[in-house]
Amino acid sequence: MSENQEWLGLMIGNSRLHFGYFAGAILQKTWDSEYLQQKEIKSHINQEKAIEKSLKSILKTKNINFNHGMPLLIASVVPEQTALWQTYTRFDMITLDKLSLQGLYPTLGIDRALAVLGAGTNLGWPILVIDSGTAMTFTGGDVQKKIVGGAILPGLRLQLSSLARGTAMLPLIEIPLELPPRWSKQTATAIQSGIIYTILAGMKNYVVSWLEEFPNSQIVLTGGDRSILLSHFTTLFPELGATFINAPDVIFWGMARVWQQIFNPTK
């Protein structure tokens, strides 16, 4: 493995595939893709070639040439998709034991751990990472690169969709681009108000609590809904929101750190 070798990082998330294309430890490009269809892959006699064909097709849309045997580092929170990608010729799984972090525990999601590792490595410790994806998570690490702990709740879109699925009369509502009125006389905006303001208040509560314990910490926001939440949060809490770092690639920063340790363990 050369120092500048091209390789791919794949984070299999709760809703989508997240890809990073690297040259050595330098992230070149990122994108998201839909899950592989299990029936389509498993219907092939040679699943290895089916995966290569799918990967080649994905890379072609990003103007990246597929090289046979291109290394693929995989982190996953979805076992069914993991099993499909493990038929690829040259893959390596990123597991908790490969991360240079302390305080890890068996049920900690690899996505959360990689995000903290990446953010702390690139931005400094202590660090608090707020991931606004399918699930919204808060995960903190201290100056010893030790996981302090965190919290998990349904993400913004999941909260909106759960009301529509779990009730007879409430509609599925889009995420508002502007803050809705706090006190609404319409059902749609009442749903937006209840979810948005509760999430923003919760974010503030966790951030303030963290900063009381780690006043020199950076606060990082990542995940698919980070931009809209950052906009709304900054509208309500401008001073605190101005300190947030919008960092969509922290998981891939963590993968780059893992790759460095594989290539050069002394770094």
Q: Which residues are catalytic?
A: 111
Residue position matching structure tokens 């995000």 = 115
Rounded Cα distance between 29 and 200, Å, is: 30
Token pair in block for residue 230? 């950052």
Rounded Cα distance between 264 and 106, Å, is: 26
Token pair in block for residue 64? 């990246």
Residues 6 or more apart from 108 whose CB is under 8 A from it? 96, 147
Q: Please, what is the angle between helix 110-123 and helix 250-263, to 10°? A: 80
- List, in sequence order, every residue forming a beta bridge with 21; answer none if it has no partner: 8, 29
Do 219 and 119 touch, CB atoms closer than 8 A? no
Q: In 3D, which of 57, 74, 61 has the Cα closest to residue 17?
A: 74
Token pair in block for residue 186? 């319409």
Do 229 and 220 touch, CB atoms closer than 8 A? no
